[in-house]
Amino acid sequence: METRVNAAKPSELKALLCAHGFSFKKSLGQNFLIDERVLARIVEASEAGPDDGALEIGPGAGVVTQRLAPRVKRLVAVEKDERLRPVLAQTLAGLDNVDIRFADVLEVDLAGLWSAFSGCARVTVVANLPYYVTTPILFHVLESRVRFDTMVIMVQREVADRLAAAPGSKTYGALTLAVRYWAEVETVCRVGPGAFLPPPEVESTVVRLRRRATPAVDVVDERTLFGVIRAAFATRRKTLLNALTTQLPLERAACLTALTEAGIAPQRRGETLSLEEFARLADAIARTSPADGGGGSGNHARGIY
């Protein structure tokens, strides 16, 4: 059995990466977490126990994996970079409950992968997401409808601020609403550049998403809801009436009728509406134009960005 390297110890990690000729690729957003305190917060936030499973997206050198695997029954890690195969063989040596799959998670059938967690009481998702693909990966998981309980993710600080934003704030937008539809959002901790190897040029934040048993609002059609949200934020400075008239295949009179039915003043702007108000508006628009529902071509939440 190979000797397991402590991936969170910079000297050991650097030596291991050097031994395998590994170089960081900026295009893959590779920044490996090496701060023990942050690692502990992530593992604690996962709330994973001995009867649970964990899906880790982007294990990198296996830093988080080393600490999470001993706590769970089964851990499946999906890593895009094949160059890390020999590195992970050493950092995860002896951890027999870990299944490493080398693939782009965006191309993975998560519903099919979920069979690996048969017999697990619950499943948590843990990820240090490359900043350039945060939203696509986030919604690949959310829209797959797989039954994870919590999702603990490391994201760029600005993204975390958007996820936790309140109506009326500058950071409140389509991403806020789409994630809130499926999950409750909590901030776990802020993370500075020095916690990574190599240090990124941005601040990071660990966020926990608790999957809702059912969506936060009940709507006639999800396509309509996300279509309306997309339209409202496409031109933030416009009033709702003007934004909807410009972005949706509805006449101005029909938009005005829908706003009135939903009890929303036409001169308000999208960033002032709560998710509940958007739901009322979407249902009113669906009744006004049942053939299309106002959804346009945006069949999924990810299409609203």
pLDDT at 29 (0 to 100): 84
Q: State pTM to two decimals.
A: 0.88
Question: Phi then psi for 45, rounded to 5 degrees?
Answer: -65, -25
Judged against a pLDDT cut of 50, whether residue 40 lies above it is answered with: yes
Where in 129-182 does DSSP place strands (E)?
150-156
Judged against a pLDDT cut of 60, whether residue 186 lies above it is answered with: yes
- What is residue 249's DSSP assignment? S
Of residues 146 and 51, the one with the higher pLDDT is 51
Question: Tens digits of per-residue pLDDT, 280-298?
Answer: 999 999 987 655 544 544 4
Q: How far is the C-alpha of 273 from the C-alpha of 69, rounded, in Å?
A: 42
Closest among 84, 215, 87 to 145, alpha carbons compared: 215
Cβ atoms within 10 Å, residue 188? 19
pLDDT-derived band at 1, boundaries 50, 70, 90: very low
pLDDT-derived band at 301, boundaries 50, 70, 90: low
Over residues 22-45, the mean pLDDT reads 93
Indicate the average pLDDT of the chain: 91
pLDDT at 236 (0 to 100): 80
pLDDT at 154 (0 to 100): 96
Q: Indicate the CATH number of 222-304 among 1.10.8.100, 3.30.70.2860, 3.40.640.10, 3.90.1580.10.
A: 1.10.8.100
Parse the chain into domains and list their residue ranges: 10-211, 222-304
Query: What CATH class is the domain 10-211?
Result: alpha beta
Q: How far is the C-alpha of 127 from the C-alpha of 77, rounded, in Å?
A: 10
pLDDT-derived band at 119, boundaries 50, 70, 90: very high
